[in-house]
Structure 1
Amino acid sequence: MDEVEEVEVVVAHSERATLRVGDMFLKVDADQARIDVEVEAMSRAPVPTPEVLWRKPHVLAIAALPGTTLGRLGGPSTGSPAAWAAAGAAIRKLHDAPLPPWPGQSGRGLRELAAELDDECELLVTNGLLPADLVTRNRRIAEAALRPWTPAFTHGDLQIAHVFADGDEVTGIIDWSEAGQGDALYDLATFTLGHEAHLADVVAGYGTDVDLDVIRAWWSLRSLLVVRWLSEHGFDPFAPGCEVDVLRSRM
């Protein structure tokens, strides 16, 4: 009998799941549109992305990338300052690319985003998930992100775990289902969330002046928007170094 590869569950919740089987990842998504966006975005992005092995309804198979991530939210960074700078340079290359013809996760209208933030803040307090002063303080900080921006080709969910490097070279970026037109500083903020010590390295690699107050505003805004969702889908935003600690650090 042939040896059977071990199946590793990478992420799993009610909307989607990612499994690893040997050197292949299987992404199962209830929303076929997200898979379609992911494949199209990877074909357009001027940065290293995984090879698409095959695609069927609601399932996408991609090859594993060489190297490792630069760390994880809530954990230590395993990447050197040069690796973080290389990631910043790769992100800048993406943002300078021609725009895809669809809006992205961070490309929502300002009114829509502000209304969503207000609703979420109210629920966080009403449901007793977070104290009112913590929510109020971060809601004020988040205000700086709610300003007009020039659309860029953004990844839309550029968590640290989605960027792979081998030494000081970026080998690939994964999970493009939220890609589209959006705010470039949202990508930078998502990538450095919980790793503020490496923000300067990323900005140095990015190679242009950025508004650090807006990046910090996105840290607060993103964290406020996801705490309740994470809690309801089996994740722990209260773990050390994760979203709630990011909010507390703004106090």
Structure 2
Amino acid sequence: MAGVEEVEVVVAHHECATLRVGDVFLKIDADQTRTDVEVEAMAMAPIPTPEVLWRKPPVLALAALPGTALGRLGEPSTTSPAAWAAAGAAVRTLHDAPLPLWPGRSVDEIAAHLDGECEWLLTNGVLPTDLVTRNRQVAEAALRPWTPAFTHGDLQVAHVFVDGDEVTGVLDWTEAAPGDALFDLATLTLGHEEHLGDVIAGYGTDVDLEVIRAWWSLRSLRGIRWLVEHGFDPAAPGCEIDVLRSQL
């Protein structure tokens, strides 16, 4: 990294930070359990992931992925439908892989967390009651038994990198675990409903669209407090609160 002229802060909050130094990403996380999961999940995943250059707790150094992010929440995606389909195919490959050995969250845990977040939203007047109530009803469809798959767990559109119509890698595996395959598909298409058909075409099997929509509501309701407390804006155009409004 000699000769690097600047350090870019990619993301930073009071849990962890990611810096870019030239072609190297430095992830600094006080909770090494998350880093343990990330390193092991990337080693297991049958799709491209960043190369681990070195690890000196609390720092993990990863090589930059080629290409650009598939998109950003709150911004129109300029990548092709074929690139979105390629992302869907990569997710299917991941979901068909052997499961991680560590446990994921149960339906009961997710439901309890969701109810706690809805209560916080209403108690603090963050969102109108009808918006929370309606989306909590929509979210109920996701709270059903599922066959566990190897899920990324935080498959935001910005975590998938493409070069042309080819997936070059997937970032940020700290939430990887056995889970609901449709949660990954919903996370990838959150705020980009227009590309859901492309993703499903690449995924190669029918999915329950009601459950996808349920996960859109659930993820948005469950994430707003964390975003606010960590300095992000869920009310930005096209982001979580707009997703909740679109569900009405």
For Structure 1 versus Structure 2, the TM-score category normalised by the shorter chain is: over 0.9
SS at match of 2:99: coil
TM-fit CA distance, 1:5: 2.8
Task: Determine whether 1:111 maps to 2:103.
Answer: no
SS at match of 1:116: helix
C-alpha separation in 1, matches of 2:172 and 2:99: 18
Aligned amino acid, residue 77 of structure 1: S
Which residue number in structure 1 is paired with residue 80 of structure 2? 80
TM-fit CA distance, 1:58: 1.4
TM-fit CA distance, 1:148: 0.2
Contact 2:70 2:158 in 1 (8 A): yes
TM-fit CA distance, 1:71: 1.1
Which residue number in structure 1 is paired with residue 129 of structure 2? 132
Give the unaligned 5+ runs of structure 1.
none
Contact 1:230 1:236 in 2 (8 A): yes
C-alpha separation in 2, matches of 1:186 and 1:174: 17
Give the TM-score of the pair, scaled to structure 2: 0.98
Aligned amino acid, residue 143 of structure 2: L
SS at match of 1:181: strand
C-alpha separation in 2, matches of 1:5 and 1:35: 28
TM-fit CA distance, 1:3: 3.5
CA-to-aligned-CA distance 1:87-110 (integer Å, 9 cap, x gap): 00000000000111012xxx3122
C-alpha separation in 2, matches of 1:111 and 1:100: 20
Give the unaligned 5+ runs of structure 2.
none
**Matched residues, percent identical?**
79
C-alpha separation in 1, matches of 2:108 and 2:52: 37
What is the total number of aligned residue pairs between the two structures?
247
RMSD: 0.8
Contact 2:146 2:180 in 1 (8 A): yes
Aligned amino acid, residue 18 of structure 2: T
C-alpha separation in 2, matches of 1:4 and 1:142: 47
Give the TM-score of the pair, scaled to structure 1: 0.97
User: Which of 158, 163, 166 is 1:166 aligned to?
Assistant: 163
CA-to-aligned-CA distance 1:96-150 (integer Å, 9 cap, x gap): 00111012xxx31222211111111011011011110000000000000000000
User: Which of 214, 228, 241 is 2:238 aligned to?
Assistant: 241
Contact 1:129 1:228 in 2 (8 A): no
Contact 2:4 2:21 in 1 (8 A): no
